[in-house]
A and B are shown apart, each in its own frame.
Chain A
Amino acid sequence: MSSSSTQTPGAVVAPGAASTESTRTKTASPEKASWFLVSPLVLVLGVFLVLPILTIVTVSFWDYNEYNFFPAFILENYSYLLTSQVTLATYLKTFKFMALTWIFCTVIGFTVAYFLAFHVRSLPMQIVLFLICTVPFWTSNIIRMISWIPFLGRNGLANSALISTGVIDEPLEWLLFSDFAVVLAFVHLYCLFMVVPIFNTMMRIDRSLIEAARDAGANGFQILTNVIIPLTKPGIMIGSIFVVTLVMGDFITVRFMSGGQSASVGRVISNEIALLQYPAAAASAVVLLITVLIMIGIMMRFVDIRKEL
């Protein structure tokens, strides 16, 4: 602004007028400007987040028949949902998948990140190894998931290898179409979401803290538990939020890997949509949303991500 006004020396009055005007607008409402600045985000979030959620909440009170749903105000969608045994069973099952996936992802993710951050010393090597971690993500989720099916099947690679090496006589039935298979696929699919944030926070740990700990006489394990883990908490928490929300909302992995025999909240919603029961699906979605929000709220209690970042 200032440079452009100095470039027009002929106009003596004009720049002065302009400047007084601009100062007037500035002083008049700095508040307005910030409203103006925030409005694109408000618009985007409003149109693409708040509005759809409001629609879902509204529809969840509507009524439906075989081919149509229509405005009404009924609580039946919720009353059935909240009293049904299926809901309880499904949520328990989903929580079980979530908890197991979270445990394995955290342990594996932390180990991988630790190795990358503290054992690999050169930056180029770290980058190379980190990229290798992302290689599986170059193919689609579904393909990575489905490729487990021929591997784990009754006559699959895993079973035939185990039989030919004499470890087992009969094929292991629980390898495929079981909870084991579901959790295995989840861990495979979502582990990287844990590795990345943990690696990121680990890289930002000041190395002198570790030296200081060592100088103060801490052994490796004590450094891990007293220095590194507390400092990587925000990373673990961000990764956990990813893993938890992804698993809670999943429907396709559970369907394929359990052979359609296990239910999850996401599958229930997808079934309801398939059967044109949009209001019921909307009610399920609202309950799931609230559940996930509560879970994230609890997780946020443990670590103040904003402070730690």
Chain B
Amino acid sequence: MTTGTDKTKISRRSVLKGAAATAGLAVGAGAVTGFPTVWAQNIKNVTLRQFGTGVSNLNEVAAKVKEDLGFTLEMTALDSDSVTQRAATQPKGFDIADIEYWICKKVWGAGNLQAMDTSKIKNYDKIVGTFRSGKLTPESTIAQGTAPHTVGFVEGPGGKKFVDNESGWMTLIPTIYNADTLGIRPDLIGRPIESWTELLNPEFKGKASILDISSIGIMDAAMVCEAMGEVQYGDKGNMTKEEIDKTMAIFTEAKKNGQFRAFWKSFDESVNLMASGEVVIQSMWSPAITAVRSKGIPCVYQPLKEGYRSWGGGLGLSANLSGIELDAAYEYINWYLSGWVGGFLMRQGYYSAVPETSKNFMTEDEWGYWFEGKAAKKDVVNPQGQVMEKAGAVRDGGAFYDRMGAVACWNSVMDENKHMVRKWNEFIAA
């Protein structure tokens, strides 16, 4: 019995001691080194939870954040449907949303994201024009679809409506973007491919594929139908019911004739279809091409005369962020645009929102290959150290301004979204 009470006494005493020591330490630290340290200490305890598509949710970025900024960034990679779902329905489940612009258009109205004060973004002025005025260069025309600048700004901090000028309140800070086209297996096709129409060319019967994400798939389908001259669109990014019906009718017929080998939904599926030779021409994403090539299998991201279908992503802040967490989020965003991430992503074939800062984190040869479309002087190596291209290679499609300047359409959400989805499901079920 006595030993029992002794034990409790000891443990109680030690606990008290410990508590006092901790309190003293905390007070001492505050008193001696002053306020900023406490803040710096606190920000180290901050954990920001980011989710997004696999493309930019990379563990290397989280590790670098810990190293450069001190706080923890938790990454969750999901597919675009799940990303949309979470942004729209689970506001408390994330701090930073890494979403695409068309998803932003879809979910902004749910009120789970807060606009960002551009005066707090150091490199705001250096962000590529596409995301601010909509024009890449002053002469460029604005492509169809959900162009990023159209959903890039709201009228104020709590704004729900998008505005068409640089209001100073940004919905998403652009992170990465790219111009998509068809991927082909040149070794299995053996002739030049120049137009989107080739996707439905009977020559590739049973060897074509399209992605089964309705909002993106419909755009690829529209690029094909327009190139074939079968359908004329007012705006491919916002089709009328009639345009949707016509487009899907053409694709349904092609499907019934056995044109498609498969439809893919995730990145890996597209890589496997291409690498295994099941498919020789399909809608594809840039890093998937790289993944196929790194297996030693020839694969080209074929520039087509009708232009590219483009997409862009950005970071949005959860409406729940405030205080020190919000400060940390701004710090993270400023860091994101300061170049390291940009260099990291550009060496995988994406473009960064502020290319000039990224340049500092790339070699001249890398910059020349990825951005300027010049022939590589040395082997091109990806951030993980794998050789992606041999010396002398030139990027498919060439320079940044050639590629991003030839965007025909942006990924988008249409007013007739419900109708489009139903038609798409009919196409899949046909």
Contacts and interface: CB of A to CB of B under 8 A. Distances in A.
Interface of A: 66-68, 80, 84-86, 89-90, 93, 149-150, 153-156, 173, 176-177, 255, 258-263, 267-268, 271, 273-277
- Kindly list the 10 A-B residue pairs having the minimum CB-CB distance in the complex, ordered from nearest: A259-B262, A260-B263, A263-B429, A274-B81, A67-B88, A67-B110, A67-B107, A66-B106, A86-B429, A86-B426
A275 B426 CA distance: 15
A233 B110 CA distance: 54
A68 B110 CA distance: 7
A173 B418 CA distance: 35
A277 to B, nearest CB: 7
B425 A260 contact: no
A154 B276 contact: yes
B18 interface: no
B428 A260 contact: yes
B413 interface: yes
B261 interface: yes
Contacts of A258: 262
A155 B276 contact: yes
Contact of A259 (B261, B417, B426): B261
A67 B89 CA distance: 8
Nearest to A93: B429
Given A66-B413, A68-B88, A154-B277, A271 B261 contact: no
B262 A67 contact: no
A89 to B, nearest CB: 5
A66 B278 contact: no
B141 interface: no
B421 interface: yes
A276 B85 contact: yes
B53 interface: no
B357 interface: no
B277 A260 contact: no
B84 interface: yes
A288 to B, nearest CB: 15
Interface string B385-422: 00000000000000000000000000001000110011
Interface in B233-269: 255, 260-265
A260 B107 contact: no
B255 A261 contact: yes
Contacts of B255: 261
B214 interface: yes
Contact of A177 (B109, B261, B413, B417): B261
19 contacts: A66-B106, A66-B107, A89-B430, A153-B278, A154-B277, A173-B206, A177-B261, A259-B209, A259-B260, A259-B263, A259-B273, A260-B262, A261-B255, A262-B429, A268-B425, A271-B421, A274-B85, A276-B85, A277-B421
Contacts of A275: 81, 214, 421
B88 A263 contact: no
Contacts of B429: 86, 89-90, 93, 262-263, 268
B82 interface: yes
Given A66-B106, A263-B425, 4 more contacts: A89-B430, A173-B206, A263-B429, A267-B428
B306 interface: no
Contacts of A156: 276
Contact of B263 (A84, A153, A261, A276): A261
Interface residues of B, number: 36
Given A176-B278, A177-B261, A86 B89 contact: no
- Chain B contact residues: over half helix, strand or loop, or mixed? helix
A85 B425 contact: no
B212 interface: yes
Contacts of B85: 273-274, 276
Interface string B24-45: 0000000000000000000000
Contacts of A66: 106-107, 109, 413, 417
Nearest to B264: A260
B66 to A, nearest CB: 33
A259 B211 CA distance: 11
A90 B427 CA distance: 11
B82 A274 contact: yes
A263 B252 CA distance: 14
Interface in B202-238: 206, 209, 212, 214
Interface in B54-94: 81-82, 84-85, 88-89
Contacts of B418: 277
Given A177-B262, A260-B262, A261-B263, A154 B278 contact: yes
Nearest to A271: B425
B420 to A, nearest CB: 10
A262 B273 CA distance: 17
B106 A67 contact: yes
A88 to B, nearest CB: 9
B89 A261 contact: no
B88 A260 contact: no
A276 B84 contact: yes
Nearest to B106: A66
A177 B422 contact: no
B425 A261 contact: no
Given A150-B276, A274-B82, A263 B428 contact: yes
Contact of A260 (B89, B212, B426): B212
Interface in B268-305: 272-273, 276-278
Contacts of B272: 149
